Chain A
Amino acid sequence: MPETPGYFPASDGTPLYGVYHAPDAPAKIPVLVAPSLFEERKSAYAALTSLARALATDGHPVLRFDYRGSGESGGDSGVRRWPDLAADLAAARQALAKQCGADAVALVGLRLGATLCLLEGAKLNAKAVVALAPVIKGAAQARLWRLRSKIRAEMTQGEGQPSSGESQVASRPASARQSSPEALAPRPDVLDFEGLAVAPGFFDEVAALDLSTAPAIAVPSLLVQISHRTDAAPESEQLAKSLGAQCKLTALRLEPFWDRVDDVNTKDLEQAVIGFLKAF
């Protein structure tokens, strides 16, 4: 299947990077793949690329893309806010529809990308939404980011060093420690999240997210719990109930590949997504 990288404009003209996977004929419903952010985006890159290829092989035109200030896209993560991600998802949806000449699309999101797809799916007139391990409570995710940042900082400084107790997420000025589009030269106006520039307020916006209290979405959805469990966790069951009668929940025993350095075999995940999308 040919894969065509390129750029399309966000609503404000910011160039967004995407890769279009053309399917073998006959084409099924086009699929837009929404990634996560920060380290999760990098760690899940191979798995989402593999998923896109599997979907294209099954006959789906697929577009995977980077939000502004992320990956190969233009823009500044230091000013990026939650509504910008929603706008970028809408722009990508439009680009996919234009590319394959079909208006109906399905959304497949991972982690924060999944949360975004669930919240924006109906607005974007998606025919189906697949939510892979969505962030259900943003406050819990923000706490994990704080912990992760603290763990990394401690391990970088050397074991056993006393912690300041201060969140690295919210305390340090940005510095350019990583060669990532999200890594910027020192700037006092942005937060430094493990070397990645983040707009003040972005973490607060994420912390305010709570899918468990969100209204049911009027779009058929597949909620994929990815964890060590083979049964559904109460939190997943609650979310599936909240999402409404059109939501199907599946629990996959799979390592959280978005948090792993090594590749994880995600074939079962690909089959679950392909199987669900057959109905559209």
Chain B
Amino acid sequence: MAGERLEERLKLMIVERLMLKFKPEEIADEDDLIKKWGLESVQLMEIVIGLEEVFGIQLGDDEFSVKKFRTVKNIAEVVRGKKPDA
């Protein structure tokens, strides 16, 4: 896992945590997770919790928006904003 691109680690976390039926590598960085991969609103919430547990990032309620969690690229920006060395 060490040295792996943040985006790839995020995809793995998303697929494992949400028990999705597809492979992490099938998700492109800029895929719309809701429109293309059918994620439900509550699953975005699970991603938030996953970021906290896996990456040690704390997000305030005000810091969350659907737009920031729309794509893996967006989520990676959130992570890097909180943890530049991620």
Residues of A within 8 A of B (CB): 143-144, 146-148, 150-152, 154-155, 159-160, 162-163, 165, 167, 228, 253, 255-256, 259-261
Contacts and interface: CB of A to CB of B under 8 A. Distances in A.
A151 B45 contact: yes
A49 to B, nearest CB: 21
Contacts of B46: 256, 259
B70 interface: yes
A144 B70 contact: no
A274 B77 CA distance: 46
Contacts of A152: 41
Given A147-B48, A150-B64, A151-B44, 5 more contacts: A148-B41, A148-B42, A151-B66, A228-B17, A255-B19
Nearest to A163: B65
Contacts of B17: 228
15 contacts: A146-B61, A147-B45, A150-B61, A151-B41, A151-B44, A151-B64, A151-B66, A159-B66, A159-B70, A163-B64, A228-B16, A228-B19, A259-B42, A259-B46, A260-B40
Interface in B32-82: 34, 40-46, 48-49, 61-62, 64-67, 70
What 5 pairs across the A-B complex have the smallest Cβ distances?
Answer: A165-B62, A154-B66, A151-B41, A259-B42, A160-B67
Contact of B67 (A143, A159, A167): A159
A160 B71 CA distance: 12
B13 to A, nearest CB: 10
A204 to B, nearest CB: 16
A163 B49 CA distance: 20
B28 interface: no
Q: Is the interface of B mostly helix, strand, loop or mixed?
A: helix
B18 interface: yes
A261 B45 contact: no
Given A155-B41, A228-B16, A228-B17, A147 B61 contact: yes
A231 to B, nearest CB: 13
Contacts of B49: 144
A167 B44 CA distance: 17
A226 B70 CA distance: 26
Contact of B45 (A148, A167, A253, A260): A148
A147 B52 CA distance: 14
B65 A154 contact: yes
A147 B46 CA distance: 10
Contacts of A228: 16-19
A194 B42 CA distance: 13
Nearest to A253: B19
Contact of A143 (B34, B40, B61): B61
Nearest to B44: A151
A38 B68 CA distance: 26
A260 B19 CA distance: 12
A160 B69 CA distance: 10
Interface string B9-33: 0000000111100000000000000
B45 to A, nearest CB: 5
A167 B19 contact: no
* Most chain B beta carbons < 10 A, residue from A146, A147, A253, A260: A147
Contacts of B40: 259-261
B66 A167 contact: no
A58 B40 CA distance: 35
A255 B15 CA distance: 12
